[in-house]
Amino acid sequence: MKITVLGSGGSLGVPAAGGFWGTCDRNEPKNKRSRASILVQSAKTSLLVDTSYDLREQLNRTNTQQLDGVLITHAHNDHVNGIDDLRPIAYHSNVKLPLYANQETLDEIHRRWPYLFEPKHGNIYVEFIQKQLIENYDKFTVGDIDVESFEMDHTTILALGYRFGSFAYCVDVADINEKSLEKLKGVETWIVDAGAYFKEKIGTHANIQRVMKWAELLKPKMTYLTVLTTHMDYATLCNELPPHIRPAYDGMVIDMDSNTR
């Protein structure tokens, strides 16, 4: 299984609109971050997690032409607003793309983009998405990839975390309950939201202290931080973090069969 980080940025990206780099070194390519999203792939199956604002560029950058399923964590704009860019992917594969999410997220996406699911104007516009409800934090399989979902507390909303074998992806998350921590046990490679950086007061995203506490408990071999803001410079983070916790970056590939490259 191969994981590709399509986007490692927070909701504004880096640089934010207007060319605002914050404290990030603009000469470090790993500081250029699109909105958070990943691809999870086996030899046969490609899954996308979240459809960010930057989806078109992310799919083109990775030459991704086919998807077997799309998993959504929650319906905040930066995780769903690129959803229209699934249209050419569905069109070229001649399939309705299965979209996996909880009821709240499916309802919100349907409310905002009804034409994804229903033909309109006498079939001039045809639906290209097929809803797949995730209930009770189900386990399910897409192609040959097993997926386990679990609840995450994003303060204003519940988000879904996803586990794929020994890899797990947790955005956006402020806190994780005991039951979900239990589901994360045995994870060897973990990508997790640390968007609050060193802020003491946690709002909607975890800070680094909290992630380190979780990593101490779960002991993944490698933990990668994502949802990185304009205040989180790549080289500075590398100096601040222990070697088993690293900042993710756009284009990072994790080969789950032979560790990281």
Residues lying near Zn ion in the complex (CB under 5 A): 76, 172
CB of 196 to Zn ion, least distance (A): 12
DSSP H or E stretch at residue 152: strand 145-153
Which residues have CB under 8 Å from 230's CB, separation 6+? 10, 12, 14, 15, 16, 20, 21, 22, 23, 24
CB of 74 to Zn ion, least distance (A): 6
Beta carbon nearer to Zn ion, 152 or 237: 152
Q: What angle do CA 184, 190, 193 make, to 5 degrees?
A: 100
Between CA 46 and CA 156 the distance in angstroms is 30
Q: How far is the CB of 52 from Zn ion (least distance, A)?
A: 11
> What is the closest distance, in whole angstroms, from the C-beta atom of residue 231 to Zn ion in the complex?
17
46 or 73: CB nearest Zn ion: 73
CB of 21 to Zn ion, least distance (A): 22
Q: Is the peptide bond before 15 cis (omega within 30 degrees of 0)?
A: yes
Taking the least distance from each CB to Zn ion, the nearer of 134 and 142 is 134
Nearest to 34 by CA among 251, 245, 261: 251
Cβ closest to Zn ion, residue 153 vs residue 240 = 153
| In the complex, least distance from residue 172 CB atom to Zn ion, rounded to whole angstroms | 4
Please state the closest distance from residue 15 (CB atom) to Zn ion, in A.
20
Calpha distance 186→215 (Å, rounded)? 11
Cβ nearer to Zn ion, comparing 50 with 250 = 50
Query: For residues 33 and 76, which CB has a smaller minimum distance to Zn ion in the complex?
Result: 76
Helices within the chain (DSSP H only): 55-61, 77-80, 87-93, 103-112, 178-184, 208-218, 234-240
Question: In which residue are the tokens 């303060």 written?
Answer: 155
Residue closest to Zn ion (Cβ)? 76
Nearer to Zn ion, 57 or 153 (CB): 153
Q: β-strands 69-71, 189-193: how paired? A: unpaired
